[in-house]
Amino acid sequence: MKLDRPKLDRVLKSPDSIGALLFYGPDEGLAHEYAAAAQKAVLGAGDDPFRLAELTPDEIRGDGARLTDELNAISMLGGRRVVRIAQAGNQIAGQIAAAIAAQAPGAALLIVEAGDIGSKAELVKVFESAANAGAVACYRDSGSQLGPLIAAHLREGGYAIARDAQAYLAERLGGDRGVTRSELDKLMLYMGEPHMGEPQAGAPAREVTLTDAMACIGDRAAFVLDDLIAAAAEGDAAELDRQYDRSFAEVEAIQLLRNAARHFQRLHQVVARMAAGDSFETAAAALRPPVFWTQRDRMQRQARQWSPPRIGRALERLIEAEAQAMRTSGIRDEIAQRALMEIATLARAGATRR
């Protein structure tokens, strides 16, 4: 069966109700976080080696009965066991299906982590079709989810965060849940003790300011991307040319194309609302996450240059370029450069018309 977050929470409160869980999707950090939570739901905080078995896909392919035997083995000291498989793929879907079908009552909980294999993958179908199994798709945190996640993680460490600092971090984190938490841990280490003065009950938490966030998580690659994409979106050929070498030394071409597409999707929302009569301020305020204050002037300039149809053409070109880059890894940078040059030409044409 398919499991969303509320259903997964119910399963983790009563793990005996299920025999196998698959966590898959583009956010491998989130998949690993969920898998760890499922293991803890059965084993608690302990690491009893008699109750935990970790297998690799190669071990399962090499011995077809190994997984079934591990699932149905009984712990020497009692208690339910857990069997974990990391980096699984469709190549072991058959063995996993057979093991799930052969699970005895009270057998170990099978926890499988897979990457971005797609919702139609054979392995996903195995878990969705089995009565005693569930599949959880793990997607990257959106802007609306990131803000509360950032605030909650810092709060657990004893820190507060200013609103503009939270917005800044939401713009630059979120590609992977594990990386997001790691970056926030780095920020807390940078901040030092969470409370001012001698720690005591009720002491005010140290607040993470925008200056703190920018100093610790400046993300040079993100700033480089902002500058490059802005140059393309504004048709500034000279600046675009200047940013090329700098950008491709910092950022992989596929990431660049995806970030550019995300920018144009947001720009499309703003331009469409302005075409319907909204002011730029109203249209920009509706974006989630909202436009960061350092980017507002850029966004406003671009909104004057672009129309919804031409933004659609830019997005089509970016999607086409990403598909080409995925097929031909040797010339990815050249493909991305050419796509951005064509977008800059579109931007200049729009500025001329207006």
Q: Which fold has domain 5-137?
A: Rossmann fold (3.40.50)
Q: What topology is assigned to 220-353 in CATH?
A: Zinc Finger, Delta Prime; domain 3 (1.20.272)
Query: Does the pLDDT of residue 66 top 70, yes or no?
Result: yes
Task: Share the mean pLDDT of the chain.
Answer: 86
Question: What residue spans define the domains of the chain?
Answer: 5-137, 143-216, 220-353
Question: CA-CA distance, 319 to 234, in Å (whole number)?
Answer: 19
Structure confidence by residue, pLDDT tens digits, 265-296 = 999 999 999 988 888 888 888 887 777 666 78
pLDDT (average), residues 213-238? 76
73-105 pLDDT, tens per residue? 988 778 899 999 998 999 999 999 999 999 998
pLDDT value of position 332: 85
**What integer pLDDT is reported at residue 298 of this predicted model?**
84
| pLDDT over 90, % of the chain | 45
C-alpha dist (Å) from residue 11 to 2, 3, 5, 77, 169? 12, 9, 10, 25, 32
pLDDT recorded at residue 199: 46
- Highest average pLDDT, of 20-24, 192-196, 250-254, 337-341, comes from 20-24
Sheet holding 20-24, edge to edge: 52-55, 82-88, 109-114, 20-24, 133-137
For the chain, how are helix, strand and coil distributed in percent, rounded to 5?
Answer: 65, 10, 25
* Mean pLDDT, residues 109-128 taken together: 93
- Confirm whether 143-216 and 220-353 share one CATH topology: no
**224 near 260, Cβ under 8 Å?**
no
Q: Compute the distance between CA of residue 67 and CA of residue 84 in angstroms, rounded to an integer.
A: 10
Helices (H), 85-233: 93-101, 122-129, 143-156, 163-172, 177-191, 210-216, 220-233
Higher pLDDT among residues 235 and 351, named by residue: 235
Convert the pLDDT of each residue in 162-200 to its tens digit: 998 998 888 778 767 887 888 899 899 888 877 654 445
Average pLDDT, stretch 320-326? 90
d(CA 39, CA 37): 5
Q: Assign domain 143-216 to a CATH class.
A: mainly alpha
Q: Residues 107, 142: contact at Cβ < 8 Å?
A: no
